[in-house]
Every structure is written in C-alpha cells, then in structure tokens.
Amino acid sequence: NAGVTQTPKFQVLKTGQSMTLQCAQDMNHEYMSWYRQDPGMGLRLIHYSVGAGITDQGEVPNGYNVSRSTTEDFPLRLLSAAPSQTSVYFCASSYPGGGGEQFFGPGTRLTVL
C-alpha cells in the first residue's frame, strides 16, 4: 500500500494564479481531510469529506475548493492564490471505526509570491 500520496511536493505560485493540490489514498478510507500547517499554529482543517460526493468546510476554508468524485481522490483547489496561502498542506484519511486515527500524506510546501 502506498498509503496517502500528495503531489506536488513543492510549488511556487504568483499571486492570482490557480492550482490544484492532488491527494490520493489506497486504503479505501471514507474520510479525507485537508489541513494547512503554519509555524506555531499546529494544523488547521480546511475542508473534509465523509465520502464520495460529500464535502464540507473546516476551520479555514476561504480561498479553497474541494470535490470528491471517487473514494480514492480528494483534490484541493486554490482559485486565486494569495501570499497568505503560503503554507505546508497535508492531506489525511481515516475510517469510521478507526477511533479517530488519521493517516497523513507527506505534505505539499506551497509558496505564493
């Protein structure tokens, strides 16, 4: 099993550009989440999904869109990048009976100039 994979690992954008961060998992987990990590802030939930076709907002959703057409994939879209979105982004997956344990991808480091 590859677990949770994320691409790209690094990305530099200019203000106003759009892009999609990819996330995939091969564990057949129903739940998937996107977090951003900023220094001294821990991880903050951006969006989450409880299954294909079902998504909802987390703590910091502004400027991001998600969709979930399959169980395996959960892409995160930046519509018009801003310097405040410079961060490390983590995708995670979990399953209902897992007691809350989440499985994390390796992260995408995004810089917006």
Give the CA-trace dihedral at 57, 61, 66, 68, to 10 degrees. Answer: -20
Total residues in contact with other proteins, by rule CB under 8 A: 27
- Kindly tell me which of 18 and 111 has the beta carbon lying closer to other proteins: 111
Closest alpha carbon to 51 in 78, 33, 76, 77? 33
Residue 40 binding other proteins, by CB under 8 A: yes
- Cβ 77 to other proteins shortest distance, Å: 19
Residues in 66-105 at the binding interface with other proteins, rule: CB under 8 A: 90, 92, 94-96, 98-102, 104-105
For residues 11 and 53, give the distance between their C-alpha atoms in angstroms, rounded to a whole number.
27
Residue from the set 41, 54, 79, 113 that interacts with other proteins by CB under 8 A? 41
Longest dimension (CA), the chain: 42
Alpha-helical segments (H) within 1-106 = none
Residue 21 binding other proteins, by CB under 8 A: no
**Encoded tokens for 31:** 């739940």
Residue from the set 13, 23, 33, 60 that interacts with other proteins by CB under 8 A? 33
Residue 5 C-alpha from the chain's centroid:
11
Write out the residues near other proteins by the rule CB under 8 A: 4, 31-33, 35, 40-45, 48, 50, 90, 92, 94-96, 98-102, 104-107
